[in-house]
Amino acid sequence: MASQYEVEHNVQLSAPARRSSRRVDMASFFSLLNQFGEATDTPTPHNNPHATPTPVATAALFRLLQDQLQTLSLTAPTADNRAFLDQLVASLEGDIHDPPTALKGVSQAFLDALDRVDRKKLFADDDCAICKVPYLDDEWCLVVELPCEGRHRFDLECVGPWLRSKGSCPMCREEMERKKAVVPAAEDEDEDEDDDMMYA
């Protein structure tokens, strides 16, 4: 299965070139997540009780994410990075021991619509807070800017699993899904004008 990186750039990378030593393989995470269906605020009612994720499956999803973050923490290049990753790891404990009935994560459509940061706007020392790999070290870097107040930037490959499962910015924990909602204001104005004409 192609990674989000390969799909976005329309490339197929060989296994050794696929990711840097600081990037983790989240194929198992996304495979399990795809069995859950899209994230929603309320669980979708089903006639078949086996059609929804069980607490065991939800806990397993958070455990996969936690394991990958722990792997990164073990090889963290700085104490600050290790502390940040350990904080994320600790925040997943509650979801593992008491799994939510539905994931709070964002949809794949939301992830796909995140603002991409142009390579020309990145500096040599800009790096991802999760993997700490400088963005420009990657020939086809895929950096996204979250719609949180801090406008935090991450490699899409790194932040995607967190957003799909938790639905918040990993740095400031601001909820994401509602931040990007677009209200069609122009349509409302046209309707108001039509109403005024009816009563004239």
Residuewise pLDDT in 10s, the chain (200 residues): 566 556 665 666 654 444 456 777 888 899 888 887 654 444 444 455 555 678 899 999 999 999 999 999 999 999 999 999 999 999 999 999 999 988 889 999 999 999 999 999 999 999 999 999 999 998 889 999 999 999 999 999 999 999 999 999 999 999 987 555 444 455 555 555 555 555 54
- The 3-state secondary structure of 19-83 reads CCCCCCCCHHHHHHHHHHCCCCCCCCCCCCHHHCCCHHHHHHHHHHHHHHHHHHHHCCCCHHHHH
**CA-closest candidate to residue 143, choices 123, 167, 173:** 123
Residues 6+ apart with CB under 8 A from 56: 99
Q: What is the pLDDT of residue 121?
A: 96
| Angstrom distances, CA of residue 74 to CA of 22, 55, 134 | 10, 28, 19
**CA-closest candidate to residue 30, choices 155, 161, 156:** 161
Largest CA distance in the chain: 72
Pair of tokens at residue 69? 């973050």
**How far out from the chain centre does Cα 127 lie?**
17
Q: What is the pLDDT of residue 17?
A: 46
**CA-closest candidate to residue 53, choices 37, 69, 67:** 37
